[in-house]
Amino acid sequence: MARITLSDLAHSYVQNPKNEKDYALRTLNHEWEDGAAYALLGPSGCGKSTLLNIISGILTPSHGRILFDDKDVTFEETTDRNIAQVFQFPVVYDTMTVQQNLEFPLKNRGMDAKYISQRVSSIARSIKVEDIMHKKAQGLTADQKQKISLGRGMVREDVNAILFDEPLTVIDPHMKWELRTQLKALHKELKHTMIFVTHDQTEALTFADKVVVMNVGEVVQIGTPQELFEKPAHTFVGYFIGSPGMNILEAEVHGNHALIGEHTLKLEHTYKALKGKVELGIRPEFMTLCEEGRGIKIEIERIEDVAHHKIVRARYNNANVNIIVDEDTIITDTMTNMTFDMTRVNIYENSWLVEGEKI
């Protein structure tokens, strides 16, 4: 187990990168705390796999350094980094039994036979594969195989970090949930540093203590699931996380007043003069649909009934507005206005969050 430090790390697949666009991963400084569970979240092609491959040693970064504790491992081979990785699809040794699969990394490191059998049976108990220990790995289901590749990583006690590269892609939906819960439990039990790459926000938010949100080669926010939800640092985080995502409305902000369309809202904070594109962001969860006469009038397009609530899809001032309404609320024809929970409003300048001063 180790603290992983990324220092001025950047990577480009192009030989001589000329501008920012040539970088798959833009300059990044970050410290992954020892024993924490992280999720790397972002859309396809945002650079999250590049980052993971740099940590695991498959790629050598074109700039910067990577440290495990205080040891520089930038140019070290995967073999020497003592990390474990679980891949997108299950990687097991087909001709070996489950038992042999789990023993393999320890045997290769020349461990003592007694220690191996003890360690393997304890891991087998943790990942719940005791009943299939003597089966050939070839005949197992995808989720069992994925558990074994996970087990092969965890069987080494001193492993620096366990990296997951979208490991639930090939798993059936009902097994996904179970595996994720097990993973979480294993993390609590064994306290390995875990980095989990995914493009699925539910996966990221349920698994991780801290989520790193990436977009076009750049880390846009690192925070707890709650922080990402309440205070998205960038409008991208706002609408990438949440279902539906945050409502982003064009605004003019003067001091503690925001003008959206023809309506002026009184803000909870006061802001200095803002330049460039100014937007107001509010989560659908923090809005209410109300009767005419209060709030701001919107054009409702349709109402969707999803499991535990209703989503009102509407338009205001040439922008989409979504509002989440309780499933028992009866929406009448006269409910055509929206109001905001002003304590939950965020202001963005050129897509980045601006903190105002408390009045």
Partner 1 sequence: MKKTVNQKAWFLVLPVLLLVGFSAVIPLMTVVNYSIQDTFGNNQFFPAGLEWFEEILHSERIHDALGRQVLFTGIIMAIEIPLGIFIALNMPKGGVWASVCLVLVALPLLVPWNVVGTIWQIFGRTDIGLLGYTLASMGIDYNYTQDILSAWITLIIMDVWHWTSLVVLLCYAGLQSIPSAYYQAAKIDQASRWNVFRYIELPKMMGVLLIASLLRFMDSFMIYTEPMVVTGGGPGNATTFLSIDLVKMAIGQFDLGPAAAFSLIYFLVILLVSWAFFTIMTNIDKQEK
Residues that bind partner 1 (CB under 8 A): 56, 58, 77-79, 83-85, 87-89, 91, 93-96, 104-105, 108-109, 136, 138-139, 149, 152-153
Sheet holding 287-290, edge to edge: 287-290, 337-340, 296-297
- Min CB(42)–partner 1 separation in Å: 21
As given in the structure block, the two tokens for residue 146 are: 């994925």
CB 160 within 8 A of CB 82: yes
* Nearer Cβ to partner 1 (149/322): 149
Residue 164 CA to residue 181 CA, distance in Å, equals 15
Q: DSSP states of 233-299 as a string?
A: SBHHHHHHSSSS--EEEE-EEEEEEEEETTEEEEEEEEE----S-EEEEE-GGGEEEE-TTSSEE-E
* Nearer Cβ to partner 1 (49/336): 49
- Min CB(56)–partner 1 separation in Å: 7
CB 353 within 8 A of CB 273: no
* Nearer Cβ to partner 1 (171/228): 171
Residue 275 CA to residue 347 CA, distance in Å, equals 12
As given in the structure block, the two tokens for residue 96 are: 């070996």
* Nearer Cβ to partner 1 (94/178): 94
Other CB atoms within 10 Å distance of the CB of residue 233? 20
CA dihedral 104, 110, 113, 115 (to 10 degrees): -90
- Min CB(105)–partner 1 separation in Å: 4
* Nearer Cβ to partner 1 (16/108): 108
* Nearer Cβ to partner 1 (109/315): 109
What are the distances in angstroms from CA 237 to CA 47, 211, 271, 281? Answer: 16, 11, 22, 11
- Min CB(34)–partner 1 separation in Å: 20
* Nearer Cβ to partner 1 (25/161): 161
Residue 162 CA to residue 150 CA, distance in Å, equals 9
- Min CB(272)–partner 1 separation in Å: 50
- Min CB(140)–partner 1 separation in Å: 10
- Min CB(139)–partner 1 separation in Å: 5
- Min CB(107)–partner 1 separation in Å: 9
Residue 295: phi and psi, rounded to 5, are 60, -150
* Nearer Cβ to partner 1 (123/280): 123
- Let me know how long the chain is: 359
